[in-house]
Structure 1
Amino acid sequence: MKFKGNRVVGMKPKTRLPIVFFLCFCFFLVLLFGYIIFSLDLNRNRSQRKFLQKFPEEEGDSFGHGETGDSSISSIPFQVLSWRPRILYFPNFASAEQCLSIIGMAKSKLKPSSLALRKGETVESTKGIRTSSGTFISASDDSTGVLDFVERKIARATMIPRSHGEAFNVLRYEIGQRYVAHYDAFNPAEYGPQSSQRIASFLLYLSDVEEGGETMFPYENGANMGVGYDYERCIGFKVRPRQGDGLLFYSLYPNGTIDKTSLHGSCPVIKGEKWVATKWIDNQELEK
């Protein structure tokens, strides 16, 4: 007996098509069921993430606080720019109006910036290292409350009480003016015994700069160390000033030793003018 074409054993030709459709339908149901399960799981995860994100912001959900604590939860956006040294960037830390107010307080009080001298140094021998002009203003001397607001916000951002902060050093850099690379912490071997040490520095940029004036870190991530670096060169990692933004960097490691990568300076202003308010933060509570 001859057979034409391929046949399924025991199956009549007329029954093939319905069975194929049935199998396809079953496969479709399996896919549909799997998709529904996957979608439910995905939506559940999204809901959990959304809940976790919103939970701290709900009214009445903040913890009870101590006498010196805050009454509500707040957040201050920041970006870690570097871990060596530890550098954090705070966009829109202060408003343009607040920045202009601080500039107005300082303008009539500016004097040539000075330096803390190492053993054997003189004012004449260090001439040209720091060519800006500036003045110190305490938040308690500001009747507008702007510096008080900024100082409190810096304390929250750094999580170091404001009682550890020095007065604001408001600086102006004109064309060609700069600050050669230096440390904000004082090495006792160079400056003698220190009653307190600067842990960190917070820079609030009060103006934009058309060109130049960057804050530079030549030793960022260990670069240029041990190669006879010229302190007057403006090289390395740079942060461009932008009005209202804040820059925080740490001069000490958690164990209290000086972070050698925290060397920094201010590049010369090429075009425009640079205004900045510096808040140095110490490891000891300071007398007011």
Structure 2
Amino acid sequence: MKTKTVKGNRRMNKLDLPSVFLICIFFFLAGFSASSLFSHSQKHEYDLRLRPRPRPRARLLEKSTQEKTEYHLLKAGDSGDDYVTLIPFQVLSWYPRALYFPNFASAEQCESIIEMARGGLKSSTLALRKGETEESTKGIRTSSGVFMSASEDETGILDAIEEKIAKATKIPRTHGEAFNILRYEVGQKYNSHYDAFDEAEYGPLQSQRVASFLLYLTDVPEGGETMFPYENGFNRDGNVEDCIGLRVRPRKGDALLFYSLLPNGTIDQTSAHGSCPVIKGEKWVATKWIRNQVQDD
């Protein structure tokens, strides 16, 4: 009985060795795989910590147009408004400071302004520098236009537009010149120039143009863009006749505001601008120049 038992144990030992060997290999491979996965997970997590997170885009603190808002207004002063005015705008550029106002005026208002101005158009002129003549500057500005003040408009349209411009610019309407209503036909243009005047070139000034407000009265199928060739200080050595840089296509009823002076009162060298040649259609625009002193109507 003992001998059989011993022989039986030997048979079991011979059978168990391969099984034990396979089990060891299995656990070794399983442990190695788990270790690799853990290491990869740790490395991935470490890489995520080191990788710079994308900066979220700045979000304006705006309320939905459908959300009802209650304003607790102060008592208006003698010349203030007793209501809140909302005028949407888009910043196109900081150098120069240029803002775009979609749907600033209605189509009917634009068409009425054109009809008021059409009969009085004359060839546009230039403010001449020292030594310049009309002959030497011929071809720089080829549009036609007419000056009209709000007091001349019996319909009240220019008065309403002027009041809205004052609210958009935050500059009293008494600082604005009369509207210069301009028409550009096919091929007509205005080379790059400054609306502000350099006293070294033009002589002593009683007041200075701070900003310009352009109300586009028509769509232009092709060409006629308002251009800022020196946006961000680029193209300073370029041709003033080239249509380059920031270009704003006219759209009926939309408006463009840009500032000719920096906050310190000096001329913004990036505010040079012009009108690209009209290729198709007509360009009509009502321009309001705004100064740093009260203007006579």
1:6-85 alignment runs, 5 A limit? 57-58=69-70, 61-85=72-96
> What SS does structure 2 have at the residue aligned with 1:109?
coil
Q: Secondary structure at the residue paired with 1:155?
A: helix
> One-letter code of the match for 2:70?
E
Query: Highest Rg: 1 or 2?
Result: 2
Give the Cα–Cα distance (whole angstroms) in 1 for the partners of residues 100 and 62 of structure 2.
Answer: 26
The CA distance in 2 between the partners of 1:50 and 1:128, in whole Å, is 49
Unaligned runs of 5+ in 2: 1-60
Equivalent in the alignment of 2:226: 215
Q: Distance in 2 between matches of 1:49 and 1:79?
A: 14
Q: 1:177 to 1:164 in 2, by over 3 A?
A: same
Q: 1:266 aligns with which of 260, 275, 281?
A: 275
> Deviations along 1:178-227, whole A, 9 cap, x unmatched?
000000000001000111000000000000001000000000011112xx
For 1:77-116, list aligned pairs within 5 A: 77-116=88-127
> Would you say 1:130 and 2:119 are equivalent positions?
no
Q: Which amino acid aligns with 2:178?
A: A
What runs of 5+ residues in structure 1 fail to find an aligned partner? 1-47
Tell me the equivalent position of 1:139. Answer: 150
SS of the residue corresponding to residue 111 of structure 2 reads helix
Alpha-carbon distance in structure 1 between the residues aligned to 2:247 and 2:264? 27
1:87–1:49: structure 2 CA closer, same or farther, 3 Å change rule? closer
Matched, 1:240 2:249: yes
Q: Structure 1 residue 287: deviation in Å?
A: 1.7
Q: How does 1:164-203 map to 2 (within 5 A)?
A: 164-203=175-214
Match of 1:286 in 2: 295
AA in 2 matched with 1:84:
Y
**Partner amino acid, structure 2, of 1:182:** H
Counterpart in 2 of 1:21? none
Give, in angstroms, the shift of residue 49 of structure 1: 7.8
**In structure 1, what residue type is equivalent to 2:106?**
S
| Residues 50/205 of structure 1: CA separation in 2 closer, same or farther (3 Å cut) | closer
- SS of the aligned residue for 1:104 comes to helix
Question: Once the 2 structures are TM-superposed, how far is the Cα of residue 234 of structure 1 from its aligned partner?
Answer: 1.1
Cα distance in 1 between the residues matched to 2:292 and 2:229: 25
Aligned to 1:5: none
Offset, 1:58: 2.6
Question: Residue in 1 aligned with 2:258?
Answer: 249
The CA distance in 2 between the partners of 1:155 and 1:110, in whole Å, is 26
Residues 139-158 of structure 1 mapped to structure 2, 5 A cutoff? 139-158=150-169
Give the share of equivalent positions with the same residue, in percent: 70
User: Structure 2 CA distance, aligned partners of 1:283 and 1:235?
Assistant: 30
Q: What is the match of residue 22 of structure 2?
A: none
Number of aligned residues: 236
Using the TM superposition, give the Cα deviation of residue 229 of structure 1 relative to its aligned residue in structure 2, in angstroms: 1.8
Amino acid at match of 1:58: E
Separation (CA, whole Å) in 1 of partners of 2:223 and 2:128 = 27
Per the TM alignment, residue 50 of structure 1 is displaced from its structure 2 partner at its CA by 5.6
SS of the equivalent of 2:134 reads: coil
Amino acid at match of 1:285: V
1:74, distance to aligned residue in structure 2 (A): 1.4
Q: Which residue identity does 2:209 align to in structure 1?
A: R
Note the alpha carbon deviations across 1:118-152, whole angstroms, 9 max, x for none.
00000000000000000000000000000000000
1-structure distance, mates of 2:149, 2:119: 15
